[in-house]
A and B are shown apart, each in its own frame.
Chain A
Amino acid sequence: MPNEKDILTQLQKIPYPGSRHDIVTLGLVRTVTLQENNVTVHFRPSSATPDTLQRLSQKITATLSAVSGIGTVSIHTGRPSGPEAGPGPVTAPGKTPLPGVNKVIAVASGKGGVGKSTVAVNLAMAIHALGYRVGLLDADVYGPSVPLMMGTEAVPRAGHDKKIFPVEKYGISLISMGFFLDDESPVIWRGPVVMGIIRQFLRDVLWGELDYLIVDLPPGTGDASLTLAQEIPLSGGVVVSTPQDVALLDVNRGIAMFRQVHVPILGIVENMSYYLCPHCGEREEIFGHGGTAKTGLEVLGEIPLVEEVRTGGDTGKPIVLQHPEHPVSQAFRTLAARVIEASQMSIH
């Protein structure tokens, strides 16, 4: 007839999935009680997923049933009451992206005016064109450009429980502060308000099922960027810069920010890389060439300075949609493919 100590010895033979440590050593077993020959095991509340707990329960049952003299085995995963309950549900880091959203990619830059929103919009369109479900979150609350560039001034509909439906355009789900403001009103907010807006855009927007959520960050390394990096496990960051040194100076700060908060940097996009003369077709490297390679990041794409990119943004018809055969659209699709490939390697 085994006693409780014998049962614990048996449980010490069961390793936690992916570890050489056993479930008793890790503290997952809260209590073991023996009444007559029936065993009751209580798990401690932990970040272990219900799936893992079920697998462990099956292992415990199998292990203990093989011991002679043991009758029934019952296993409890519920939270105890009183002070033993501990903190509410605990989740391990990197396991709680937004519900239904598979990958979240942030598009950032050090400086303003390097074409970050242009890249974000066309990247979103290009990923969508490759057959994925895509959302675009405009985190630049002070200067939202996504509504203009996507050609919509729709007002997001309200759902239940203070939830918001995103605006749909060209097959992409959009949210932007621009949808809630008229064109003239200045956005004069302090950091905590900005943090609240970013949280709402993440948590209170009914994104539904998305393969990719692209986030267009404001320039620099301020409240919006930090809040985003703290609120959710980002799958990766894409950095946008023009090739000249003065832009690259600040890009390094953006890179350092991503590194500090452990966001994998997928690479850098060189925007306004060169000018293709519409008359003679000659390539003019106004801002110099190859500057972004100096950052040591993988150069994901070089987007030339062409008029169709600008008119695409100003008229709300992104070039990827309006001129799909244009070499720049091709460049954006190549960029999209590389972002997808790089983000698949990320664990988040």
Chain B
Amino acid sequence: MPIPALIVPLMDEKALRLLWDDDQISTYPFPYLRGWCPCAGCQGHDGERQFIKVENPQLATIKPVGNYALNLGWSDGHDTGIYSFEYLRTLSDQVAEFNATTTER
């Protein structure tokens, strides 16, 4: 499983850029990343993917979690999302699918 080798928050472009150790680059716009927060509070337990729409979210904190994830905190105070590297890779590789299945609530 690839892990991030370099983490660059692009505050002016409102996006997070990752360089993976297999040399792939992923760029995540903040609203996309905040919207697909993987935490149970955002995703619920019914198995259906939920997109959480937040007005102009800003990335406030980034903490590495052990060997496997990043914990991202947002300007709206929400900081329970633990984004595993697998999940971040999926969010990057399947942008089209994620955008297509957006079910706002």
Contacts and interface: CB of A to CB of B under 8 A. Distances in A.
Tell me if chain B binds chain A.
yes
B52 interface: no
Contacts of A95: 64
Contact of B67 (A16, A44, A233): A233
B61 interface: yes
Interface in B29-74: 58-62, 64-70, 73
B9 A93 contact: no
B95 interface: no
Interface in A51-93: 83-88, 90-93
Interface of B: 1, 3-13, 17, 19, 23, 25, 58-62, 64-70, 73, 82, 85
Main secondary structure of the interface of A (DSSP, over half): loop
Contacts of A260: 68
Interface residues of A, number: 39
A261 B7 contact: no
Contacts of A128: none
Interface string A24-53: 011110100000000000001111100000
B25 A21 contact: yes
A121 B93 CA distance: 45
A185 interface: no
B9 A16 contact: no
A132 to B, nearest CB: 22
Contacts of A84: 11-12
Contact of A20 (B23, B64, B66, B82): B23
Contact of B66 (A19, A25, A30, A230): A230
A88 B23 contact: no
Contact of B25 (A26, A47, A91): A26
Contacts of A164: none
B67 A94 contact: yes
Given A21-B25, A27-B17, A45 B67 contact: no
A86 B23 contact: no
Given A16-B19, A87-B60, A48 B6 contact: yes
